[in-house]
Structure 1
Amino acid sequence: MINTIQVWQELGFSFDAVSTGFIVSEKQAKIAAEFCRKQKENGSMVFADPIMGDEGKLYNGITEKTISYMREIVKVSDYIVPNYTEAVYLAGAEYQEGGMDEKGVDELIESLLSIGAKSVVVTSALVNQKEAVIVYDASKKQRHILPFVSIPVRFPGTGDIFSSVFMGSILAGQGIVESAQKSMDVVKAMIEKNKDNRDKFKGIPVESFLGVLDSEET
């Protein structure tokens, strides 16, 4: 990573936006945090998808130090897109197996803001016993809860699709709520079109369904 960044600097590369994802070590997290900080100073928009865990547990290899460095990335990010598990670990809060009420949502958002988060999108949440995506718009200081009904199949990589569509929509000038809703609609449409695939472990062949991005379903 250090060598790659050095080459970018030597070539004078600049970026409209930077997006972080899965980071495999504390060293990488530290390098990414510093890179995002410098890019932010140069005017780049920073998006962070702090991939660390799911269903209340951290992935193998993720440590408390990694979480602390992820918080450094959060501080310099314009938008963070954690799932509920990741949001809880970033906030130092307790994972609620049965979900949250709206007071719990507000407390989680406040905890994320206290570590330096700005605009926030929390996926895979359970609010008042309903599946939802939580959105906090820093520019308006407004919180939104976007409910959804999940399709009972699981594909790897749907979080990456969500984050990518979200970033693209924001960069295209859409608001955070509209961007989150579009991301939800795209992911749902792609899952619906692939739910009968026998091999779910290969994920969704995104390149075959790019038309979903502009379809009436989204």
Structure 2
Amino acid sequence: MTKKIAVINDLSGFGRCSLTAAIPVIAAMGVQPCPLPTAVLSAQTGYPSYYCDDYTDRMHYFQREWEKMGAEFDGIYTGFVASEQQIENIFDFLDTFHKKKTFLLVDPVLGDDGKVFDMFSENICDLMKELAARADIITPNLTELCLLTDTNYRMIQEMTDEKHLLKIIEQLARNLVKRGLKTVVVTGVHFLDSDDGILKMGNLAVTEKQSSISAFPYVGGSYSGTGDLFASVLAGGMARGDKVSECIELAGRFIEKAIVDSVEEDVPRNDGVNYEKYLGILM
């Protein structure tokens, strides 16, 4: 029987992010994505103008209809949320569908480059911490890791040299693991590899017993949706029984090729990366 993942995220017509990224990636991995939209947008919010149809008050309709169907999921994957009520709705959804054999992957979308996204309040951050605490695996970037652990991002950036950066990040992630999380995967970590002197971008996975990093040469460029692509590969891989380390390596190869392609074509940041032609890597 085909594995199923409930994907709770927004749908953007342009921007190659959120559900637009998750649906093809998860499907390419042989897993059925079951989208529960939190909003429908003409384009992702990085564009100067966009239309947004908020689905907050309609999320419960999906939940109720899926309950009537007797739906069950192998995994639940949450991404961008735009309000406190949306997170409360997710808690209600988890109370119904998060079973013992259902993994929960939370991509705690809160900010980037040391900045919290404009729409987020302190209350939303607190609720996201609560949601992350219920997860089996989370995929924060460094900014989000700092927010989840009440750590000063600027202090880490300004006072930590390259040699010790990974150790600091690992310790912050391990602090979350000590609170009950099984796995924390810190995404998009830039560091200078001491072995070959090459600037790299990697994803650091931390569990109770070990940590490992999967890294590739940094080719430049910063694009919308790469975090969504990464989390989607991770969710798809977990649903089909792959090891987390294998999922991270696969996601890294997939996204690296898409970024290189996008840099060569000078794709605008808001458009996201040219991932479509590389979906075959995931099968």
Compute the TM-score of the two structures, normalised by the length of structure 1.
0.86
* Structure 1 equivalent of residue 261 of structure 2: 193
Q: 1:127 to 1:53 in 2, by over 3 A?
A: same
Inter-partner Cα distance in structure 2 for 1:209 and 1:80? 25
Whether the aligned pair in 2 keeps the contact of 1:102 and 1:128 (CA below 8 Å) is no
Quote the offset at 1:18 in angstroms: 0.6
Inter-partner Cα distance in structure 2 for 1:213 and 1:106? 28
Inter-partner Cα distance in structure 1 for 2:205 and 2:280? 26
* Structure 2 equivalent of residue 32 of structure 1: 90
Quote the offset at 1:149 in angstroms: 1.9
Higher RCO (CA-CA < 8 Å; seq separation 6+) = 2
Instruction: After the TM superposition, list the runs of 4 or more consecutive aligned residues in structure 1 that deviate by more than 6 angstroms.
Output: none
* TM alignment of 1:59-208, pairs within 5 A: 59-95=117-153, 96-98=156-158, 100-126=164-190, 131-138=201-208, 141-200=209-268, 201-208=270-277
Provide structure 2 residue ranges, at least 5 long, that are not aligned to the other structure. Answer: 1-58, 194-198
Quote the offset at 1:123 in angstroms: 0.7
Whether the aligned pair in 1 keeps the contact of 2:215 and 2:252 (CA below 8 Å) is no
Secondary structure of 1:101's counterpart equals helix
Higher strand fraction (1 or 2): 2
Whether the aligned pair in 1 keeps the contact of 2:107 and 2:140 (CA below 8 Å) is yes
1:67-116 Cα shifts (integer Å, max 9, x gaps): 11112221221111111111110111121224553541342023212443
Range moving further from structure 2, 125-134 or 182-191: 125-134
Provide structure 1 residue ranges, at least 5 long, that are not aligned to the other structure. Answer: none
Letter in structure 2 aligned against 1:202: D
* Structure 1 equivalent of residue 102 of structure 2: 44
Identity percentage over the alignment? 27
State the superposition RMSD in angstroms: 2.2
Report the count of equivalent residues: 212
